[in-house]
Amino acid sequence: MTTRVSSTQPSGETFVAKPEIRHAGIVDVEFGKDVTVVQPVNLYGCTIGDGSFVGPFVEIQKGVNIGQRCRIQSHAFICELVTIGDECFISHGAMFVNDLFGTGGPAENPDLWRPTKLGNRVSVGTNATILPVTICDRVVIGAGTVVTKDITVPGIYAGNPARLLRRL
């Protein structure tokens, strides 16, 4: 139980709150061979391919498909409708977004969410944000980059919005 005193309450009076407790962990996940997961994580309704690694404090939501030999580092968030190819690296704190707030706020209807697809051998830097886009094979997304449009040319991208720095 938590006790909180509000500035609007009379002196000496306390407010006792009981939060709704939800438990997470690993639920309904399809794992390939030789997958490593470091707890604590929230993984539910997703697929993780052979030889992949998932670090601590990662959330991977339902319907996400992670390819083979991928590394998902700590504090990454991978929302519904994301597909990640083989041999990808998702760095610490990377965020994937499926809702563009097209109605002026969070979409109450999941039909308004949009998918994201990463090709093979894509590296996403620390604290990058990936909006609903398609990214081709052999791309490096720099730390802190915000990807707002499809990437169709292999290369190194950085900035907000992401810009091609060099072809690979």
Domain for residue 16, yes or no? Answer: no
What distance lies between CA 163 and its chain's CA centroid? 21
Q: Please give the C-alpha separations between residue 163 and each of 89, 154, 160, in angstroms, as whole numbers.
A: 19, 12, 8
Domain for residue 2, yes or no? Answer: no
37-51 per-position pLDDT tens digit: 999 999 999 999 999
Mean pLDDT taken over the chain: 93
Average pLDDT of span 82-101: 97
Which range of residues forms the domain containing residue 147?
23-167
Domain for residue 59, yes or no? Answer: yes
- Taking 90 as the threshold, does the pLDDT of residue 62 lie above it? yes
Instruction: Specify the pairing of strand 163-167 against strand 146-147.
Output: unpaired
Domain for residue 139, yes or no? Answer: yes
Using pLDDT thresholds of 50, 70 and 90, give the confidence band for residue 21: confident
Domain for residue 7, yes or no? Answer: no
DSSP helix/strand/coil, 112 = helix
- Taking 70 as the threshold, does the pLDDT of residue 6 lie above it? no
Domain for residue 1, yes or no? Answer: no
Q: Please give the C-alpha separations between residue 16 and each of 6, 22, 98, 146, 165, in angstroms, as whole numbers.
A: 11, 19, 36, 41, 54
Q: Tell me which residue has tokens 């090709």.
A: 119
Using pLDDT thresholds of 50, 70 and 90, give the confidence band for residue 1: very low
- Taking 60 as the threshold, does the pLDDT of residue 5 lie above it? no
Q: How many domains does the chain have?
A: 1
Domain for residue 5, yes or no? Answer: no
pLDDT at 142: 98
What CATH number is given to the structural domain containing 98? 2.160.10.10
Q: Tell me which residue has tokens 């399809």.
A: 30
101-151 per-position pLDDT tens digit: 988 999 989 999 999 999 999 999 999 999 999 999 999 999 999 999 999
First to last CA, the chain: 55
